[in-house]
């Protein structure tokens, strides 16, 4: 695999002045953004880690997965209200695991016991629980207890239950956009490209939009590590899963919009396309200028 594309301030100069940064204030839900004159979207936000899309994300033995199973499911226990597995630490390690074991032992679709509605894991089939149909209840399994974890962006050449269908976050720089089509009016969808910038490191990393979430401000471990000046690790240990996360609204995000990148989605194809898109947009000079104009000191 080629080394990840990382741009340092000292290495880039270009036509930022020619592009300019006129733009207007907009809202994506309750999150402020700037819509630039060329149609691209600019935002300032955190960098939380999104590991969905990795075949190592979830395991029935939580100590082996990169994130706890409770983060990927909603439980519908028979005779009780449904709940998010991650609603609290106590729920995550307590009743979620108890209910999961009972529902799994009953074959996943026995409505007299309950059902698990998977979203961080690919689920198939359905169960009738408490008078309603719960879909996606049987998790797609991989060897050694791991589970197939999806991304919204997918390669249709592979089956829904094939991990290769989804965008791999440990090696590919990816970002999340808000659900409910918050950015769709601006041409930003899964498969479009963008760039994230950490001014404190002087590093910009182009990315592909691979998934949906609550807000702008989530990216893959590969994106976070590159922005921190650290190489991605396909064998990422659990102890380093959050390396590169940024808890303050200090990361500049630019979403170029426009055409979607077609599959296949590999580290090389995404890096090449995203780098070229960033250069066409105006490169790091324009990015720094736009961040200064719209957000103040960079």
- The pLDDT value recorded for residue 19 is 58
**Domain match, 43 and 173 both:** yes
What is the per-residue pLDDT across 171-196, written as a single tens digit (0 to 9) for each?
Answer: 999 999 999 999 999 999 999 999 99
Q: Is 173 inside any structural domain?
A: yes
- Note whether 202 and 279 are same-domain residues: yes
**Tokens in use for 11?**
């290495």
Q: Is residue 281 part of a domain?
A: yes
Same structural domain, 121 and 217: no
Q: Is residue 59 part of a domain?
A: no
Residues 129 and 243 in one domain: no
Domain match, 211 and 261 both: yes
Please identify, among 145, 179, 207, the residue that sits at the C-terminal boundary of a domain: 145
State the Cα–Cα distance between residues 81 and 91, nearest whole angstrom.
13
Residue 20: the pLDDT is: 78
Q: Identify the domain boundary among 115, 145, 175.
A: 145
Residue 15 domain-assigned (yes or no): yes
- Strand locations in the chain (E): 7-8, 23-28, 31-36, 41-49, 73-77, 83-84, 114-118, 123-129, 132-139, 174-178, 193-198, 203-213, 218-219, 246-255
User: Could you tell me if residue 154 is inside a domain?
Assistant: no
Judge whether 32 lies within some domain: yes
**Domain annotation covers residue 61:** no
Rounded Cα distance between 247 and 259, Å, is 31
The answer to whether residue 153 is domain-embedded is no
Are 98 and 199 members of one domain?
no
Total of domains in the chain: 2
To the question of pTM greater than 0.75 for the whole model, the response is yes
Same domain as 227, residue 262: yes
Q: What is the pLDDT of residues 228-261, one digit of tens each?
A: 999 999 999 999 999 999 999 999 999 999 999 9
Task: Give the structural domain span for 89.
Answer: 69-145
Same domain assignment for residues 280 and 177? yes
Res 226: pLDDT: 99
pLDDT less than 50: residues of the chain: 1-18
């Amino acid at each position: 695999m080629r080394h990840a594309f990382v741009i340092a301030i000292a290495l880039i100069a270009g036509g930022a002045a020619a592009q300019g940064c006129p733009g207007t204030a907009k809202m994506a839900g309750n999150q402020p953004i700037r819509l630039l004159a060329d149609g691209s979207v600019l935002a300032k936000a955190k960098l939380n880690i999104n590991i969905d899309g990795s075949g190592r994300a979830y395991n029935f033995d939580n100590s082996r997965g990169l994130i706890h199973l409770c983060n990927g499911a909603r439980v519908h226990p028979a005779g009780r209200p449904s709940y998010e597995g991650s609603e609290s630490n106590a729920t995550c390690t307590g009743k979620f695991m108890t209910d999961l074991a009972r529902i799994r032992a009953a074959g996943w679709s026995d409505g007299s016991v309950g059902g698990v509605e998977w979203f961080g894991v690919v689920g198939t089939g359905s169960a009738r629980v408490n008078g309603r149909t719960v879909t996606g209840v049987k998790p797609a399994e991989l060897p050694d207890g791991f589970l197939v974890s999806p991304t919204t962006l997918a390669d249709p050449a592979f089956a829904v239950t094939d991990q290769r269908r989804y965008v791999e976050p440990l090696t590919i720089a990816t970002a999340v956009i808000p659900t409910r089509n918050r950015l769709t009016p601006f041409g930003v969808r899964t498969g479009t490209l963008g760039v994230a910038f950490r001014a404190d490191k002087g590093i910009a990393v182009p990315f592909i939009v691979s998934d949906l979430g609550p807000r702008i401000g989530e990216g893959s471990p590969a994106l976070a590590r590159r922005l921190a000046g650290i190489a991605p690790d396909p064998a990422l240990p659990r102890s380093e899963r959050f390396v590169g996360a940024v808890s303050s609204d200090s990361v500049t995000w630019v979403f170029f919009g426009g055409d979607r990148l077609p599959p296949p989605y590999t580290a090389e194809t995404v890096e090449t396309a995203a780098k070229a898109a960033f250069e066409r947009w105006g490169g790091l000079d324009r990015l720094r200028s736009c961040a200064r104009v719209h957000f103040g000191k960079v």
